[in-house]
Amino acid sequence: MKDWVAIVTGASRGLGKAIALAFAREGAEVALLCRRNYAEAAEIARRIEREGGTAWACQCDVADSEAVGRTIDEVFRRAGSIDVLVNNAGVSHSSLLLKTDEATWDEVIATNLTGAFNCTRAVLRFMVLRRKGHIVNVGSLSGMRGAAGAAAYGASKAGLIGLTLATAREYGNRNIAVNAILPGLMPTEMGNAMPSASGERILSENLLGRGSTIEEVAAFVVRLVELEGISGQVFNLDSRPWRWT
């Protein structure tokens, strides 16, 4: 991956941090996008630099299309290319549908789905010209199976799957691969914030009796973009069975 340039959103902590580090270890330059935790993202970039890589942090709200456009333009000016986009930024609020207010719904959809749309549209301008690119969208099995208390989150992740499949169809003839991954329950800030009863239920449904580790999901993302012939796929990395129930 030497000379590749990867953009990772939601990269200041958790899975985004692990994905950024994994790309850097493979020799890619990495742009770490975050909304609030710029100091943390900048420290990760400095760590990558200390280890001999190239990285920088960018503060950007992915729900803001104009900010995304400016940020992606700056990444291209700085690095000269954009090879990979990982749409990882996401938020979740736990509440029953009748107790979910419009502001909460809008925030979740804006970050998880519209944010991915904004970033994808921005990088496609450059990938189409080069006829090369990889986009990975970080989804959730909640988008396939649903989850009580997570209507907004599940809807956003279901929409992300639709965005993945449509983009793959539209730009496959330009050699741009677009895939989605569905990690299992992970020890991230979002995963740890889940009610204990929900976490226990999820783990009880896992065929292996465990969730995903951050490191194995990050490794999967890196290996996925190294493969040239895979696009339009939704990879279930959760050991819960995939079904529409």
The answer to whether position 189 is within a domain reads yes
* Angle in degrees, CA 239, 9, 185, rounded to 5: 20
Could you tell me what percentage of the chain is helix, strand and coil, using 3-state DSSP and rounding each to the nearest 5?
50, 15, 35
Q: To which residue do tokens 């700085």 refer?
A: 78
The helix or strand, by DSSP H or E, that contains position 25, with its residue range, turns out to be helix 14-25
Share of the chain above pLDDT 70, in %: 87
Whole-prediction pTM value? 0.90
Cα 175 to chain centroid distance, Å, stands at: 21
CB contact set of 184 (below 8 Å; sequence gap of 6+): 141, 202, 206, 210, 211, 212, 237, 238, 239, 240
Output DSSP code: residue 112: I
Least confident segment among 5-19, 186-200, 207-221: 186-200
Output DSSP code: residue 72: H
Instruction: Label residue 243 by pLDDT band (50, 70, 90).
Output: low
The answer to whether position 242 is within a domain reads no
Least confident segment among 56-60, 139-143, 194-198: 194-198
Q: To which residue do tokens 């169809």 refer?
A: 169
pLDDT digits (tens, 9 = 90+) for 133-191: 999 999 998 888 778 888 999 999 999 999 999 999 999 999 999 999 999 876 755 54
Q: Which domain holds residue 12?
A: 5-234
Active-site choice (153, 159, 171, 234): 153
Residue 195 has pLDDT above 80, yes or no: no
Rg (CA), the chain: 17
More confident residue, 173 or 241: 173
The CATH number assigned to the domain holding 141 equals: 3.40.50.720
Q: How many beta carbons lie within 10 A of that of residue 26, not counting itself?
A: 17
The answer to whether position 212 is within a domain reads yes
CA distances from 34 to 42, 56, 147 (A): 10, 11, 27
pLDDT digits (tens, 9 = 90+) for 73-105: 999 999 999 999 999 999 988 888 999 899 999
Q: Which amino acid is at 31?
A: A
The answer to whether position 239 is within a domain reads no
Give the burial class of 167: count Cβ atoms within 10 A of its Cβ; 0-12 exposed, 13-18 middle, 19 or more buried.
buried
Mean predicted lDDT score pLDDT of the chain: 90
The answer to whether position 41 is within a domain reads yes
The answer to whether position 245 is within a domain reads no
| Angle of the 214-226 helix axis to the 14-25 helix axis, nearest 10 | 50
Q: Is 136 helix (H, G, I), strand (E, B) or coil?
A: strand
Bridge partners, residue 85, by sequence:
7, 135
The answer to whether position 240 is within a domain reads no
Average pLDDT over residues 33-51: 96
Residue 230 has pLDDT above 60, yes or no: yes
Task: Assess whether 153 carries a catalytic annotation.
Answer: yes
Residue 40 has pLDDT above 50, yes or no: yes
The answer to whether position 81 is within a domain reads yes
pLDDT digits (tens, 9 = 90+) for 7-21: 999 999 999 999 999
Interatomic CA distance for residues 63 and 139, integer angstroms = 17
**How many structural domains does the chain have?**
1
Average pLDDT over residues 38-42: 97
Say what the pLDDT of residue 106 is.
96
Residue 217 has pLDDT above 80, yes or no: yes
